[in-house]
Structure 1
Amino acid sequence: MKPKKLFSGRSGRGSVLLIVGLLVGSAVIRIGVGAGQAVATENPMVSEVKEEESKPKALTGSGMSPEDKSRMSEMLRTFQEREAKIAEKEDQIAVRMKALSVADEQLQRRLTVLEEAENSLRGLLALADTAAEDDLARLTAVYENMKPKQAAPLFEQMEPAFAAGFLGRMRPDAAAGIMAGLSPEVAYSISVILAGRNADVPKG
């Protein structure tokens, strides 16, 4: 009995070619995979580069480099230090202004007290002048009403300038009576003083 042919005619040849093609394709795929693994093994940087490229790049804040960020931090620290110094100076100025304001208030109060004291002193001086004038007027009237013989010894004991002051305020007749009772030396001294005062009076 003859063995059966597995493949016969054209259909047999086509099946053989198909099987051969599948085997060749499988071999090519295996060779490609093996080569890829070998390359990855020999050059690990390639896979790392591919992995890095595949990963999304992380953006640095606003695209600034570390140097720029360091400079910005330094500038910010400098500005903060300046601001702190300015604030400290402003506080010192405020304290000084407050002290000056307090000192000014105290000075104004003292000036007010001094003005009140000055006004009071002026009033007292005016009152004293008025009182002195009144006293002189009364004392002059007393000397005028005295008899010349009684008043002359008193004027003899006075300083010539003081006596001339009273005689100059008296009525001429009363002053003449007292002058007549004085010693020639005292009468002469008083006359010189009275003449000097009258010489200084402007003539019309």
Structure 2
Amino acid sequence: MFNRLRLLPTVMLCAALLLALKLADIASGGAAISPAQASASKAIEEEAPEAETDHDKTAADSESGGRTEGDAVVSVEPAMSEEEAAAPISKSEMTVLESLSERRKELATRAEALDTRERLLAAAEKRVEDRIAELKEIEARINARIGEQDAENEARLAGLVAMYETMKPKDAARIFERLDMGVLLDVVKRMQPRKMAAVMAAMDPVTAQDL
């Protein structure tokens, strides 16, 4: 910048000399160029490259400054993006976020209710399984008891049959006529046919017919 200011008076002086020489040439009717005009032209030509060099340097500095400023702008862009990211949420976005929050709460409540219901069902199923196991155990005890009673009844009937078979047919016939038909049938089924035939021959004909 200072070089340009220093060269500016010289350039202006040379231009004034050239203008004066040009006017003198015109006045003289196109005479040959004087040595002073030639020296002035040479001085202008020598000063012109320096001016161009200073101009190029100034342009380069301007371009460098422009690039630096551009870099600074680029470096500022992330800060602007962060500011935009930190901008306040709009009303519509806030409504959507609140709706999503309510939906999440509703889903969490439903999930908790389903978990509670599943636990209750599991507990009820456990109670049913325990009750079924208990009933099966009771059934097994009942069947065992029935089997014991059947064995006892069978042993008692076997004793009665042995006793009636050793009795006289007439004595046995009188007892059979007074027995309950169900008991009588159980006894008759277990007696030997030959001995039973003799007892039936001595029984009342009506009772023997029913039997």
TM tier relative to shorter chain: 0.5 to 0.7
**What one-letter code is carried by the residue in structure 1 that aligns with 2:84?**
S
1:156 alignment counterpart = 177
User: How do residues 39-78 of structure 1 correspond to structure 2 at under 5 angstroms?
Assistant: 61-62=83-84, 69-78=90-99
What is aligned with 1:187? 208
The share of aligned pairs that are identical, in percent, is: 27
Does residue 129 (structure 1) correspond to residue 132 (structure 2)? The answer is no
For the pair 1:143 / 2:164, whether they are aligned, the reply is yes
In structure 1, give the amino acid aligned to 2:107.
I
| 1:116 positional shift | 0.6
Aligned-residue offset at 1:159: 4.2
Pair 1:113–1:63, CA change in 2 (3 A): closer
Cα distance in 1 between the residues matched to 2:105 and 2:189: 82
The structure that is helix-richer by fraction is 2
Instruction: Specify the alignment match of 2:137 in structure 1.
Output: 116
Normalising by the residue count of structure 1, what TM-score does the alignment of the two structures yield? 0.57
Q: Is the 8 A contact 2:157 2:186 kept in 1?
A: no
Shift of residue 77, structure 1, vs aligned partner: 0.7
**Structure 1 residues 72 and 161: alpha-carbon distance in aligned structure 2, compared to 1, 3 A threshold:** closer
Distance 1:126 1:100, change over 3 A: same
Counterpart contact for 1:148–1:178, Cα < 8 Å: yes
Contact 1:143 1:151 in 2 (8 A): yes
1:142-201 per-position Cα deviation (integer Å, ceiling 9, x unaligned): 1111121221111112345543442232112321221121122222222xxxxxxxxxxx
Q: Which runs of 5+ in 1 are unaligned?
A: 1-58, 191-204
Aligned residue pair count: 133
Q: Which has the higher contact order (CA 8 A, sep 6+)?
A: 2
TM superposition score normalised by structure 2: 0.55
Does 2:182 correspond to 1:174? no
d(CA) in 2 for partners of 1:100, 1:65: 51
List alignment gaps of at least 5 residues for structure 2: 1-79
